[in-house]
């Protein structure tokens, strides 16, 4: 999976802690004990918006990701899904 | 934020994590916190020269105040060690306090207190991870370094954890000349107990300085270890401690960066903050958590830490084509073997450290000594005493450890009142 389904609803894994940093953010998963990082602030905003957005696409749009950049953000989210930092929201 | 932002590189797309971290973070990602110098063992290579408790160790309240700070700074987790941290009477209380305050805990133990009951408690907590230390896959290799009976203690602890259903705890091994041939056997032990293997580098720190020459892996063993690590990839943890081996070729998984004072540090049992767990020496002392600014003040304001966050020059290594991968290796390993900090690592895989090591005086005179030695052996050394007349014959001397609020108080009528009793 190199991109996620942008029309599904996603969220951060409940055991993931997010720490904003000047370069983006650090993510730590207490379940897998893995550290990850976000290399830009907008990606951080996207990730933080997932929870309340009906879809990942809506989360991207809400924080001003231009349509031409959607594929790039989708790929970044896919990386986070692979490491279980971001999971599909079922409720 | 003033100074920090001017030196911090903007996040360019595609920037490597290591480049961003070189300039340090506002808070450590994780840090090592040694809760006590007390230990039931006396491992020959102990990084912190532990053995006896220090009377100045942080109280429960002071330790909780540190945890409050770590929570505010959003430090994800602490690596708790010692000494043997579980011998502190408030160990479990501090563990619960940390996890209740969103600070995850990984703690290292020789297993002495990991009873079936303790194991059940640990298995039920998602925010706690345990590292059992074992430095030989067989009792003879392990006990030669860690002391008689320590192999059995560690294996019993692992069995208790496995029986309690604890998954993926760590089997933590310091790699030595004698256990490098046992890597497959360690992996087998870890697999047997559902644990994950974690290998770390032997440092010439603490008592380790005294045994490093005899214990550190031989050059051909370093290659063997590197190949083993490459073959096992991310299934084996290394605490990022073998980045000096990256100069063999392919970089090992991890940051491959000396995180000292940039993304990690050490808090010792008396609250002293050092750049890293392997550098208990005045040279790397940044401050104390008991100072007015607390831990955050030390992390953010210490001149030592600010210096470590400046771009480092490669010194004698800068012309080496492998500098970009090994970055000159481990600062503490260089320091305690008496090598210049801007030169090669003593275990430089290109062999540049060996020549320098050969120049050390035979008796190792002039080598830096750790600031603190709590070894039980040290207590048996002669203690200098002064003999003389009491300055005040009516006033008995007061021990430095006297806790009585009336200690040293002179009551003239004391002799009389005793008679009336």
Chain B residue with the nearest C-alpha to that of A32: B168
Q: What is the pLDDT of residue B12?
A: 46
Chain B residue with the nearest C-alpha to that of A31: B126
- pLDDT (tens place) for every residue of chain B, 421 residues total: 223 322 333 344 456 667 777 788 889 988 999 999 999 999 999 999 999 999 999 999 999 999 999 999 999 999 999 999 999 999 999 999 999 999 999 999 999 999 999 999 999 998 999 999 999 999 999 999 999 999 999 999 999 999 999 999 999 999 999 999 999 999 999 999 999 999 999 999 999 999 999 999 999 999 999 999 999 988 999 988 898 998 898 888 777 788 899 999 999 999 999 999 999 999 999 999 999 999 999 999 999 999 999 887 788 898 898 888 888 999 999 999 999 999 999 999 999 999 899 988 888 888 888 888 999 876 566 666 778 877 777 776 777 676 677 776 766 654 444 444 4
B11–A37 CB contact, under 8 Å: no
Q: What is the pLDDT of residue B383?
A: 63
Q: Which of residues 15-34 of A touch B (CB under 8 A)?
A: 15, 17, 19, 21-24, 26, 28, 30-31, 33
- A72 at B interface, C-beta within 8 A: no
Length of chain A, please?
A: 91
Partner residue facing A39 (CB), from B11, B26, B106: B11
B104–A28 CB contact, under 8 Å: yes
Q: What is the pLDDT of residue B5?
A: 29
Residue identified by tokens 């220090």 is: B54
Q: What is the pLDDT of residue B7?
A: 32
Secondary-structure breakdown of chain A: helix, strand, coil percentages, each rounded to the nearest 5: 40, 25, 35
Specify whether the backbone of B381 is left (phi greater than 0), alpha (psi in -120 to 50) or beta.
beta
Q: Encoding tokens for residue B97? A: 């306090």
The complex's ipTM works out to 0.85
Q: What is the pLDDT of residue B381?
A: 62
Q: What is the pLDDT of residue A35?
A: 87
**What is the DSSP code (8-state) at residue B217?**
P
Instruction: Give the span between the Cα atoms of B309 and B287, in whole angstroms.
Output: 16
Partner residue facing B126 (CB), from A17, A31, A40: A31
Mapping DSSP to helix (H, G, I), strand (E, B) and coil, where does residue B272 land?
A: strand
Instruction: Give the span between the Cα atoms of B202 and B210, in whole angstroms.
Output: 12
B77–A15 CB contact, under 8 Å: no
Closest CA to B311 of B5, B24, B15, B2: B24
- CB pairs A-B closer than 8 Å: 45
B11–A23 CB contact, under 8 Å: yes
pLDDT tens by residue, A32-90: 888 898 988 999 999 999 999 999 999 999 999 999 999 999 999 999 999 999 999 98
Q: What is the pLDDT of residue B146?
A: 98
Instruction: Give the span between the Cα atoms of B45 and A19, in whole angstroms.
Output: 36
Contacts of B196 in chain A (CB under 8 A): none
């Amino acid at each position: 999976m190199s991109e996620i389904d942008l029309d599904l609803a996603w969220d951060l894994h409940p055991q993931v802690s997010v720490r904003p940093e000047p370069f983006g953010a650090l993510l730590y998963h207490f379940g897998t004990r893995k550290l990850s990082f976000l290399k830009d602030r907008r990606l951080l905003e996207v990730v933080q918006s997932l929870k309340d957005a009906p879809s990942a696409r809506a989360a991207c749009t809400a924080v001003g990701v231009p349509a031409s950049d959607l594929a790039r953000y989708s790929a970044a989210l896919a990386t986070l899904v692979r490491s279980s930092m971001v999971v599909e929201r079922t409720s | 934020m003033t100074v920090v932002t001017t030196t911090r590189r903007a996040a360019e797309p595609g920037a490597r994590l290591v480049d961003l971290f070189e300039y340090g973070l506002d808070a450590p990602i994780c840090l090592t916190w040694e809760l006590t110098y007390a230990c039931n063992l006396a491992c020959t290579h102990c990084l912190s020269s532990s053995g006896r408790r220090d009377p100045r160790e942080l109280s429960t309240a002071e330790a909780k105040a540190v945890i409050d700070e770590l929570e505010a700074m959003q430090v994800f987790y602490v690596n708790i060690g010692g000494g043997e941290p579980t011998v502190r009477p408030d160990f479990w209380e501090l563990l619960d306090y940390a996890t209740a305050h969103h600070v995850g805990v990984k703690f290292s133990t020789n297993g002495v207190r990991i009873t079936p009951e303790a194991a059940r408690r640990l298995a039920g907590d998602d925010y706690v991870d345990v590292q059992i230390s074992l430095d030989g896959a067989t009792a003879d290799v392990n006990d030669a370094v860690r002391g008689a009976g320590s192999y059995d203690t560690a294996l019993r602890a692992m069995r208790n954890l496995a029986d309690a259903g604890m998954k993926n705890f760590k089997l933590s091994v310091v790699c030595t000349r004698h256990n490098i041939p046992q890597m497959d056997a360690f992996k087998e032990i870890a697999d047997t107990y559902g644990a994950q293997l974690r290998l770390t580098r032997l440092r010439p720190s603490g008592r380790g300085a005294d045994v490093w020459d005899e214990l550190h892996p031989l050059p051909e063993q370093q290659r063997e270890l590197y190949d083993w690590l490459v073959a096992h990839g991310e299934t084996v943890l290394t605490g990022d401690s073998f980045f000096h081996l990256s100069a063999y070729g392919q970089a090992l998984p991890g940051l491959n960066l000396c995180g000292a004072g940039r993304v990690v540090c050490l808090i010792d049992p008396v609250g002293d903050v050092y750049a890293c767990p392997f550098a208990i020496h005045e040279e790397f002392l940044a401050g104390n958590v008991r100072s007015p600014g607390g831990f955050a003040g030390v992390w953010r304001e210490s001149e030592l830490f600010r210096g470590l966050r400046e771009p480092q020059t490669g010194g004698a290594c800068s012309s080496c084509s492998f500098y970009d991968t090994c970055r000159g290796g481990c600062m503490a390993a260089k320091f305690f073997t008496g090598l210049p900090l801007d030169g090669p690592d003593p275990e430089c895989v290109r062999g540049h450290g060996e020549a320098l090591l050969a120049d050390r005086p035979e008796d190792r005179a002039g080598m830096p000594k750790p600031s603190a030695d709590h070894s039980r052996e040290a207590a048996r050394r002669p203690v200098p005493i002064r003999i003389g007349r009491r300055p005040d014959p009516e006033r008995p001397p007061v021990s430095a450890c006297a806790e009585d609020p009336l200690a040293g108080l002179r009551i003239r009528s004391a002799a009389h009142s005793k008679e009336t009793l």
